[in-house]
């Protein structure tokens, strides 16, 4: 099992690093791990964050569901008071049958995550439309 650690990603400019600080590691099944962008100038409750949780589909099953939830609050500051007026979310849900060969699982996860990072998929997400023919 992976050890909890900080995560660094690139901003949209492709150059600037943004660190996400490991705030809470999972203590077991169905308990999320939690990271937050502590460099954000917003109060902690309004900073971008990532949660990752893994849980069995049902007891005794070899199938697990993993979910990542990335949240960026939309905030407004008026007269020194910061409030959340909306939110952007990215949710990725993966179901893996761990009775399959580890090489097949590894390949599925790598290709699936790399497809989410593909330029075309990112552009479609940014514009709010599926790629057209």
Q: Where are the domains of the chain?
A: 7-99, 100-133
pTM over 0.85, yes/no: yes
User: Rounded to the nearest 5 degrees, what angle is found at the Cα of 18, between the Cα atoms of 109 and 51?
Assistant: 50
Query: Residue 76: what pLDDT?
Result: 95
Q: Looking at the domain 7-99, which fold is it? A: MS2 Viral Coat Protein (3.30.380)
The sheet carrying 63-78 orders its strands as 7-10, 17-24, 33-36, 49-56, 63-78, 81-97
The residues of the chain scoring below 70 in pLDDT are none
Query: Residue 109: what pLDDT?
Result: 97
Q: What is the dihedral of CA 20, 2, 55, 124, to 10 degrees?
A: 50
Query: Residue 33: what pLDDT?
Result: 98
Query: Residue 1: what pLDDT?
Result: 80
């Amino acid at each position: 099992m992976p050890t909890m650690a900080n995560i660094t990603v690139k901003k949209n400019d492709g150059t600037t690093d943004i660190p996400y600080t490991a705030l809470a590691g999972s203590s077991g099944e169905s308990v999320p791990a939690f990271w937050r962008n502590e460099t954000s100038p917003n109060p902690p409750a309004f900073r971008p964050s990532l949660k990752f949780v893994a849980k069995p589909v049902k007891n005794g099953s070899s199938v697990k569901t993993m979910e990542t939830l990335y949240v960026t609050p939309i905030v407004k500051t008026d007269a020194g008071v910061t409030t959340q007026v909306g939110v952007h979310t990215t949710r990725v849900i993966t179901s893996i049958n761990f009775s399959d060969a580890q090489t097949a699982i590894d390949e599925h996860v790598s290709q699936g995550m790399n497809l989410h990072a593909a330029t075309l998929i990112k552009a479609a997400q940014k514009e709010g439309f599926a790629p057209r023919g």
